[in-house]
Amino acid sequence: MTREYWDRYEGVEIPLPKVHIDREDQDEHSKRLMKTVDLWDNPIPEEAALRARRAYFGACSFVDDQIGKLVKILKDCYLDKDTIIVFSGDHGDMLGERGLWYKMSWFENSARVPMLVNYPSKFKPKRVMESVSTMDLLPTFVDLAGGNSSTILPIDGVSLYNYLISDKPGADEVFGEYMGEGTITPVMMIRRGPWKYTTSLADPPQLFNLVEDPQELVNLATSPRPEHAQIFSAFEAEARKKWNLPLIHRDVLDSQRRRRICWEALRIGKLKPEYKL
């Protein structure tokens, strides 16, 4: 981010994180993340949090301006009506919420990203309330280009084309798998309707109702209410059927070992650049 965008927020009131959770009250995965990024014994002071959030605001404005330049070029070339523009992202940022920074979790700040599709000649602007996934982009692109997404290789995503051209409700579900930084075993997520469920071999499961509890403060996985217990039990059964967690855990470790062996082998000898015409 350049100084231009930093200065754009000079004197602007930047909101501080809303959700504060004491260390001892954090869930196990969040505790591990705090230790992974050295926040456990070194919490971010308020002044640094303000700087970081101001920089994030500036970065968002930078992206907005670049999209604006692209749209202007398309209009100047009379291509804006027949060009499909898709805007999305691969992750969000906790930005200090819950005492967390960066991504690496299934909380909304980290996992929820924008998804905008603009194609004026085919459909009018509207807002889709159902949850969708970036995994859905490939089959959607095929359908938008006039192809048949049902003929491509089996993939986890589903085409969003019907969302765009009609008001028919969709599946409203997303499956997520995370095996990156801060994990000691894969962490899986199911988002369906108002519910978000997460599970792993190492940490207690979580169940949130994002309509009633958008800040994900009340874990209903241990709720004594029968309706919650029934929903939680159904998610547990679905997860066991969908994922063989012990097998996936072993596969990840085997992959890591193979890559470490390759890395050690690549470090032997002298690195020489190679040029080919």
Q: Residue written as tokens 């930005």?
A: 95
In a domain, 277, yes or no: no
- Give the tens place of pLDDT for each residue, 110-142: 999 999 999 988 888 888 888 999 999 999 999
**Confidence bin at 151 (pLDDT 50/70/90):** confident
Is the same domain home to 201 and 187?
Answer: yes
Which residue, 116, 144, 162, sits at the end of a domain? 116
Is the same domain home to 41 and 110?
Answer: yes
Q: Is 253 helix (H, G, I), strand (E, B) or coil?
A: helix
Torsion of CA 93, 127, 176, 174, to 10 degrees: 160
Q: Is 116 helix (H, G, I), strand (E, B) or coil?
A: strand
Q: Residue written as tokens 């062996």?
A: 261
In a domain, 126, yes or no: no
C-beta atoms surrounding 117 within 10 Å: 20
In a domain, 123, yes or no: no
Supply 87's token pair. Answer: 């805007």
Is the same domain home to 180 and 161?
Answer: no
At residue 70, does pLDDT exceed 80? yes
CB 14 within 8 A of CB 48: no
- Give the tens place of pLDDT for each residue, 26-69: 999 999 999 999 999 888 999 999 999 999 999 999 999 999 99
At residue 274, does pLDDT exceed 90? no
Q: 174 pairs with which residues across the strands?
A: 191
What pLDDT is recorded for position 154?
82
Residue type, 48: A
- Give the tens place of pLDDT for each residue, 163-211: 888 888 778 899 999 998 899 999 999 999 999 999 999 999 999 999 9
- Structural domains in the chain (count): 3
In a domain, 50, yes or no: yes
**Confidence bin at 4 (pLDDT 50/70/90):** very high
Which residue, 71, 88, 116, sits at the end of a domain? 116
Q: Which domain holds residue 84?
A: 1-116
Is the same domain home to 140 and 105?
Answer: no
Give how far the C-alpha of residue 107 lies from the chain's centroid of Cα atoms, to the nearest Å.
Answer: 9
**Confidence bin at 270 (pLDDT 50/70/90):** confident
CB 103 within 8 A of CB 93: yes
pTM above 0.85, yes or no: yes
Is the same domain home to 61 and 158?
Answer: no
Is the same domain home to 24 and 44?
Answer: yes
In a domain, 44, yes or no: yes
CB 66 within 8 A of CB 9: no
DSSP 43: P
